[in-house]
Homo-oligomer: A and B are copies of this chain.
Amino acid sequence: MKMPKLPKPFQVVLDPKTGIPRRYERKLVRRLSDLRGFFLDNEFVEGKLARGKNPIIYEVYEIPQSPSEGLFSLACTVLHPGKVGREYYFTKGHFHAKEPTSEVYVGLKGKGMLLLQTRKGMVVHLPLEAGNVVYIPPRWAHRTINTGKGKMVFLAIYPSDAGHDYERIKKSGFAKLVVERGGKSTLISSPSLKK
């Protein structure tokens, strides 16, 4: 087993108001333009971008370890509230590139949902809010959806060598979408599902 220089133990303080780590190594910002092709209502997306609007959909505060078997990385995601057409803001969603790896989400703020899907198209959806913990086993693609009115914030713990495979899920799409219907979040089958 490859063993790099081992990290020392460290503590992360989450801001009690925002849930965001007081110190982190990298901040990733995903705007609407970064999620082109992910939302159902493409016209809505292109129209908004054409008008010079490119809202932040989510931000990730990363405390990564170098990719190596046995190490864990931490990341705090802030998923903004909002909708693209009827569809709630979501994270891109991904499979792990190294397939037999798990992940755990700890809900910190707000209210939303986790959508999970296997390669064979099996779908599971779970609520995620403050005080919830979700276990994502190996081989389940995962996407979070903010169905609330405030920011949805959660902590992710995952192997540092898990990697992200966004392409597979971008190609196939999630089999389910989460949309607003009559003021409520509703799970519907994706009309645009490409096999």
Contacts and interface: CB of A to CB of B under 8 A. Distances in A.
Interface of A: 1, 3, 6-16, 21, 63, 65, 69-72, 74, 100-104, 106, 114, 116, 124, 126-128, 131-140, 142, 155, 157
A contact patch SS: strand
Given A1-B100, A106-B106, A133 B74 contact: yes
A136 B9 contact: yes
Contacts of A138: 6, 70-71
A28 B8 CA distance: 29
Contact of A74 (B103, B104, B114, B132): B104
B70 A126 contact: no
A192 to B, nearest CB: 24
A11 B124 CA distance: 11
Nearest to A125: B9
Given A14-B131, A157-B157, A100 B8 contact: no
Contact of A135 (B10, B16, B116): B10
Given A10-B135, A104-B157, A157-B157, 5 more contacts: A13-B132, A14-B131, A14-B132, A70-B100, A72-B135
Contact of A126 (B3, B10, B100, B155): B10
A69 B69 CA distance: 11
B102 A11 contact: no
Nearest to A162: B70
Contacts of A13: 131-132
